[in-house]
Amino acid sequence: MTSKYDSNVDLSTIADRIRGAGRIVITTHVKPDGDAIGSTIALARAVERLGKEAHVWYSGPVMDVFKPLIAPTKASVVAESVQPGDKIDLILVTDTGARSQLRDLGGWLERHREKICIIDHHIQGDADLSDCRLVRTDACAASEIVIDLVDELGVAMDRSIAEPLYLGIATDTGWFRFSNTTAATFRHAARLVQAGVDHAALFRAIEQTDPPSRLRLLARALTSLEILAGGRVALLTLRKADYEAAGATPDDSHGFSDLPLSVESIEVACVIAETNGGSVKLSLRSKPGPRAVDVNQVARQFGGGGHARASGAKIEDTMDRARPKILAALDRL
């Protein structure tokens, strides 16, 4: 079944579904990023203010930097033997609507399909996952949509709700640098700071806590730099041996794909990383502007997707086989 992945409900419908529910499960995509954490935790706290029972379920791993921001809200990591129960009234899925991103809860979600509401800002997803979808591709983050939902619910924007929301919009906009940052984003951010968010402390807590292994891995990644497509594309390649030599984990290469965009001529930056499972992770970023490249189109060639300026794919193939295909696709840009 392939119907269009778009909104078919408005904010007030979702607010009504929340008001009519007692026990609410909130979940998001696998390996939750700042927006996934922010949108789910803020939503949980908002619905608790309305006297609802909220439980957030993550498909791990949850990065350590996020843990202090999650507590004291009730959150669990899904495992084969640890799944949400069936005594629930509503499931809110934020920052994704794609089955591939929700695999750990797959069977459970299908069993409760009629209880699911999706709150997302991605271009692509599985429309048949739920008949209740609020998809705003113009929102910089799912957390930005949640701000409107908190207002719609009539819940006061206090610091404990504002902080995760700020985390979500700040991380999804590259701390207000990416082209998805709009006037509304700044208005929302101002309001969240007004509500008590310490933005400088949050930046330090999220962005300045790397282990040395990450910098060592970056040194190796930069050594692998290749410039393609007449100077318009940069490629960084990380093999398993690089992670081993740096003493790094797969998470340590997070965000490397933004770095080559510092070069004037580079329009597209790409990182390909060998995973422990033997597959290849592709990450793509592009600069905004008249020559902007839609990297979502590139990611789709490899079975992935995302946004026009930020996309990725997991390629079930060896590095030696996948790399030439990726190089060829990049050279065509």
Footprint of Mn ion on this chain (CB under 5 A)? 35, 95, 141-142, 172
CA-based nearest residue to 64, from 175, 164, 211: 211
In the sheet that holds 305-306, the strands lie side by side as: 226-228, 233-238, 268-274, 280-286, 310-315, 305-306
Question: Whole-number minimum distance, CB 141 to Mn ion, in Å?
Answer: 5
Beta partners for residue 93, in sequence order: 27, 118
Q: Provide the minimum distance between the beta carbon of 306 and Mn ion in the complex, in angstroms, as a whole number.
A: 10
Pick 73 or 101: Cβ nearer Mn ion: 101
Are 225 and 242 in contact, with CB atoms under 8 Å apart? no
d(CA 164, CA 169): 9
Closest distance between Mn ion and the C-beta of residue 62, in Å? 16
State the minimum distance, in angstroms, from the CB of residue 173 to Mn ion. 10
Give, to the nearest 10 degrees, the angle between helix 183-194 and helix 142-153. Answer: 60
Least Å distance between CB 301 and Mn ion?
23
- Retrieve residue 278's tokens: 């033997």
Minimal distance, residue 305 CB to Mn ion, in Å:
13
Q: Which two tokens stand for residue 180?
A: 């998805």
Looking at the DSSP bridge assignments, the partners of residue 79 are 82
Smaller CB separation from Mn ion, 17 or 122: 122
- Where helices occur in 229-309 by DSSP H, the ranges are 240-246, 295-301
Minimum CB distance to Mn ion smaller for 109 or for 135: 135
- Identity of the residue, 73 or 94, whose beta carbon is nearer to Mn ion in the bound complex: 94
* Centroid of chain to Cα 224: 27
Instruction: Please answer whether residues 285 and 252 qualify as being in contact, where contact means their C-beta atoms are separated by less than 8 angstroms.
Output: no
Nearer to Mn ion, 123 or 261 (CB): 123
| Residue (21 or 141) nearer to Mn ion, CB | 141
Q: Which residue is nearest to Mn ion (CB)?
A: 35
C-beta of 269: minimal distance to Mn ion in Å?
Answer: 19
Q: Which is nearer to Mn ion, 35 or 242 (CB)?
A: 35
Give the C-alpha distances (Å, rounded to integers) separating 232 from 151, 292, 318.
43, 11, 26
d(CA 209, CA 231): 33
